[in-house]
Structure 1
Amino acid sequence: MDINIGISDEHRKKIAEGLSRVLADSYMVYLKTHNYHWNVTGQLFHSLHGMFEEQYTELAEAIDEIAERIRSIGYPAPGSFREFSEITSIEEDTDQPDALQMVRQLALDNETILRTAREVLPACEEAGDEATIDLITERLDVHSKTAWMLRSHLE
């Protein structure tokens, strides 16, 4: 069935590609945050364990919203680790860093998501895709605040 939602096929494709990168980055940070939640140790254990749980829980909900937006504009959402690893800007962490290194890495990763999300906005604005603009704006707010809170632990 043809899709006629007031956004051209060309714009929908460009937006879906951008959202797919945001989805991949978000999923990789979700995995990393969940890993850090499980493996954080040291004097900051209690506060970081709880903070990481809040962050990965929020990311899990966001991942679903991003994927559903991709579907709603007529494209399949990437959903495998292979697909995510091919398009993400986030480096996988195979080490067991100390608590402050975890915080530093997650701050940098949230800033990466911010940059990836900002790259989608021009296509959304050009297409008049207010729903995706709203979603991206919300993600910008969340990741800006998260990056700030993480950086604050490093001062």
Structure 2
Amino acid sequence: MATTASVLKPKAKDEQFDIGLTTAYRETMSADLSSILADTYQLLIKSHIYHWNVVGPLFKPLHELTEEHYNTLFKATDVIAERIRALGHLAPAKLGDAAKFSPKAADVNHTSAADMVADLISDHESAVRMMRTAASNADENDDMVTADMLTARLTFHEKALWMLRAIISQ
């Protein structure tokens, strides 16, 4: 069975261009962004599932917050995929690739709002760690566009973490 990384590894087109970034860097960053794209889709879908299924005293704030989040995450997927294209690689596009974006049923089988929030916190933290590493690599390679995009994504995820933690704070 193919791993997520191998399935999502971006393939270069036969176009040659010089934007001041090495071919090796563009390939590595495109692979990193493809992983970030897959994780973003998983978090989008999970946020949407929790939006539908949350119950209890946290229903209204979590229902509204997850709606904000999945809408923002959906917009982010386009930005991330377009950056992969700008780096000269194809964004994951096969139907089989899309299946890798979906969370497993066990990953969204949380019955309490607090468990849902804890799960979302874990995924946002993972996204922050991955994006921070990629942003650092972008900075080291003078790729200001990717670094800027990732900084904007980090801003969203860190704010999401603050809000999610505030919802379950005691």
**TM-score (structure 1 length as normaliser):** 0.90
**Ranges in structure 1 where 5+ consecutive residues have no aligned partner:** none
Aligned pairs (5 A) from 1:46-125: 46-79=60-93, 82-83=96-97, 92=104, 93-125=107-139
In the aligned structure 1, how far is the partner of 2:93 from the partner of 2:67?
22
Aligned to 1:20: 34
Given that 2:136 and 2:147 are in contact with CA atoms closer than 8 Å, whether structure 1 keeps it comes out as no
Unaligned runs of 5+ in 2: 1-14
| Residue of structure 1 equivalent to 2:10 | none
CA deviations on 1:47-78 (whole Å, 9 max, x unpaired) are 21111100100000011100100011111112
Residues 82 and 96 (structure 1 numbering): CA distance in 2 closer, same or farther, change over 3 Å?
farther
Higher relative contact order (Cα pairs below 8 Å, separated by 6+ residues): 1
Q: Which SS does the other structure have where 1:43 is aligned?
A: coil
Distance, in Å, in 2 between the alignment partners of 1:91 and 1:116 is: 18
Map of 1:2 onto structure 2: 16
TM-score normalised by L of structure 2: 0.82
Shift of 1:108: 1.1
Counterpart in 2 of 1:128? 142
Identical amino acids, percent of aligned pairs: 38
